[in-house]
Amino acid sequence: MSAMDSDVQRIDGIDTYPRSSVQRDGVLFFMAQECASRRKFLGVQGDAPGFSHPVHRAGNTRYYALTPANAQTLRNRLPWMQPQPGGTRLSFGFGDRLGLATAGHTLSAWEAKLYPVFAQQSVRENIRTGRTPQQVLDDAMWGLFQTGWSKPWGADADHLKSVEDLAAFVSAGYTFFTVDPGEHVGNPAESASPGELHGQAARLPWADLDQSLESSLKDYLHRPFKSVDLQIRFDEMALLRAVVKYGSAIAHTARMYFELIRLLAGRPFDFEVSVDETNSPTSILEHVYIASELRRLGVAWTSLAPRFPGRFEKGVDFRGDIQLLEGELANHVAIVKAFGTYKLSLHSGSDKFSVYSLLAKHAGNLVHVKTAGTSYLEALRVAAQAEPAFFRGILEYAIERYPTDRATYHVSADLSRMPAAAGMADAELPGLLEDFHARQVMHVTFGSILERFGDHLKRLLVVHEPDYHLGLQAHFQKHLAPLVSYS
């Protein structure tokens, strides 16, 4: 499928998207766009009560605003527009910080044998973009509707840190919940002395863990972990470090999980545990400890994101010893297969082109890859091509904001090593999206950029929608090709 397959058809000043047209119970639903304003509407031909905010009528066809209420009514009418859990199938997360990328994402995923997560946003990203969980899910759904997507898809409430974060995502209809207990990880355990470790271990929330330090040590020190490809025996100091580093994080994860059980009231869901944002890699022993404790506490999780060795920075390829990474990756996969109930998740998965083939080689389909800001960078590429002066303003402000905005990200871009855009011809500006330093600077300053330039950028992307979607299609096919087979 290509963007040309979803070209519009124009009748009386209204464009329609042919691929969106679907008949259900004698009613035709389709996506429409007013030519002059470029505002999009839901077209309904036939008798379909329940929709509100009509904006236009032509014969027996009514056009409705793309409101949250109309999104929910359409999901009720077309059940495949409702996200679903994906389980342990091969999956890929397409983050969209602008709410305009999903139609392009579907072009890359159309023939791929995977479970796509089209709505994906963290609490942090929602704050910086000024969007709500409901807006993120609805924007994704309208993008799917526009291109006629009818296969299962997911919605990921990403990097949830507190119980208070959950309700808004549950209410919106999310099906995938990623818990980030990073604030509860005991990073100092890495360098603590034996005496310090014993003291810190004694202060862990053992009541929440439904165990004592003594019983935990006894269980693990007398129980080696064995799999087909791996055997691990715990020694006391290594075990203590794992307990101190992850004990509170495991207790917090269990609290989040059981609160989700309560809030979802029987609805199925995917649950991911993310420990990738820590100061040091997750060792093989620590992976075993985390998985064993979660299982003991009754947590059923779909995927686990460990911290791998090397640097998984935003918007660029893996940085580090690729052979060391492959060895560790193989061992992590051996643990996943031994437990047999979850898959391995790669966070900051955007543009990690040297890693995807290794994931496919060792983990096969037991993989989830999560991307986010790379779709935003493709939007900036369109801006650079279409309105060079506007893009120069974005770049200038990104450079100004980078020292502040980088604080919450693992990045290493150096402003002094960025190419000087002032000396570049307009035609050369899109090439900045290939430069390591410029790419990261623009990636992590998205909140500041959208606050100042967001309205204009979104209008530009609406005008140049086919270019944006074709760019996304090519970009994500490059991501997916090493991971998936195509039907």
Q: Which active-site residues does the annotation give? A: 158, 272
**DSSP conformation class of 410:** -
Q: Which helix (H) or strand (E) holds 161?
A: none
Quote the CA–CA distance of 486 and 468 in Å, as a whole number: 23
The rounded distance, in Å, linking the Cα atoms of 181 and 187 is 12
Q: Positive or negative, the Cα torsion across 421, 422, 425, 426? A: positive
Cα–Cα dist 114/105, whole Å: 13
Rg of the chain's alpha carbons, rounded to an integer? Answer: 24
- Spatial separation of the C-alpha atoms in residues 378 and 384, rounded to whole Å: 10
Long-range Cβ pairs for the range 232-240 (8 Å, 24+): 232/284, 232/285, 232/288, 234/285, 237/194, 237/197, 238/283, 238/285, 239/285, 239/289, 240/189, 240/194, 240/197, 240/198, 240/201
Phi/psi of residue 154, nearest 5 degrees? -125, 165
CA distances from 244 to 30, 147, 215, 250 (A): 55, 49, 15, 11
Q: Tell me the C-alpha distance between 271 and 268, whole Å.
A: 10
Q: Count Cβ atoms below 10 Å from residue 410 Cβ, excluding itself.
A: 13
Count of Cβ atoms closer than 10 Å to residue 23 Cβ: 11
